Homo-oligomer: A and B are copies of this chain.
Amino acid sequence: MNLKQLSHMLALSQTTVSRALNGYPEVSEETRRRVADAAKRHGYRPNPSARRLATGKAGMIGYVMPTGASVDIDPHFVEFLSGLGDYARGHELDLVLSPTTADDEETTYRRVVANKQVDAVYVSSPRPADRRIVLLNQLGLPFIVHGRSEGLDFDYAHIDIDNEAAFHDAARLLLQLGHKRIALINGDTSQTFAIFRERGARKALLASGLSLPPERIRSLAMTEENGFRAANSLLRGSEPPTAILCSSLIMALGVVRAIRDLGLSIPGDVSLIAHDDVFPWLKPENFSVPLTTTRSSIRAAGERVAERLAARISRQETEPRGEVWPVDLVVRASIATAKN
């Protein structure tokens, strides 16, 4: 059933039927009702390819997905996707993933735009002065950044969590417990979220007259193995930390393993606070010692991004507004007062 057939059986023109269905004003209410009715009864659905050719709108949102032998999409992505799906599901919004290599990202974005494959995209894991954001801004494709960049001379729509405050507060709590040597096991600092976290921790320490020297920082891809290595090298050092801030639950697994391997205990010897993105399959309260965490659901962020993306597509949202969510600090058994 296509427009032609439908309009024919209603003895109306395609124009009118189209307008009626799309809510244009120049159709009488009665006609609109008749049309809507017939459309429903015959299960008419406009052909998206045709609509797309005519309007240039795709009805989909996009994500340019870096892949490659050395690139691991991390498990956070799937949580984000769940959230996105939660919203998109109810709105018949589909998501287009365009795989790309890291070097070809720009090409891929250009292709996606030139092909009008999607009406909007979201950008994840932004870096400082992220070129993707510059590009999208200049190409004029609606987009939302999950996270934030830094050092860009224009505003852009984004949603982020307050990583700086989260790690500031976590560090402050450790300081209040009397810790002096606090270490940070961070994600890759080429990404802004890690930069913000380091900044937050550092500010808290400075406020107490302490510092966060490079030798008490590790910055690595967030795997269990890297968590282990980082904790190991920190704790075997000459002045081992009495408390560790860790950027991910997965890394925390390795941190806990390292601490145990060294015959140390949590929180007796080492206090530990980790950031929790809320995975359904790994919960901080189920660690051998329940973990104190800074918590923010990445899934909720995905849902919000989808919602705002939809709003931008329909021009209900237009300003380059940023949204920064506070992060919970959830205290559990993994922290204690410093010994000395």
**A residues touching B (Cβ–Cβ < 8 Å)?**
45, 47-50, 52-53, 56, 58, 60, 65, 67-69, 71-75, 77-79, 81-82, 84-86, 88-89, 92-101, 111, 114-117, 222-225, 228, 250, 253-254, 257, 260-261, 279-283, 286, 288
Contacts and interface: CB of A to CB of B under 8 A. Distances in A.
B280 A72 contact: yes
Nearest to A299: B72
Given A49-B49, A224-B282, 16 more contacts: A45-B114, A48-B116, A49-B58, A50-B53, A52-B52, A65-B81, A67-B82, A71-B82, A72-B82, A75-B75, A92-B111, A94-B99, A95-B97, A97-B97, A224-B286, A257-B286
Contacts of A71: 82
A286 to B, nearest CB: 5
Nearest to A83: B67
Given A78-B74, A261-B288, A282 B49 contact: no
Given A53-B53, A88-B99, A97-B97, A73 B78 contact: yes
Q: Lowest 3 CB-CB distances: which A-B pairs, in order?
A: A67-B85, A85-B99, A223-B281
A78 B74 CA distance: 7
Nearest to A57: B49
Contacts of A56: 49
7 contacts: A49-B56, A67-B85, A89-B99, A94-B99, A223-B280, A225-B283, A254-B286
A86 B73 CA distance: 11
B67 A73 contact: no
A263 B56 CA distance: 65
Given A94-B97, A97-B95, A86 B60 contact: no
B281 A74 contact: yes
A139 to B, nearest CB: 16
A260 to B, nearest CB: 7
B49 A116 contact: yes
Contact of A49 (B53, B73, B286, B288): B53
Contacts of A92: 111
A115 B48 contact: yes
B114 A72 contact: no
A75 B72 contact: no
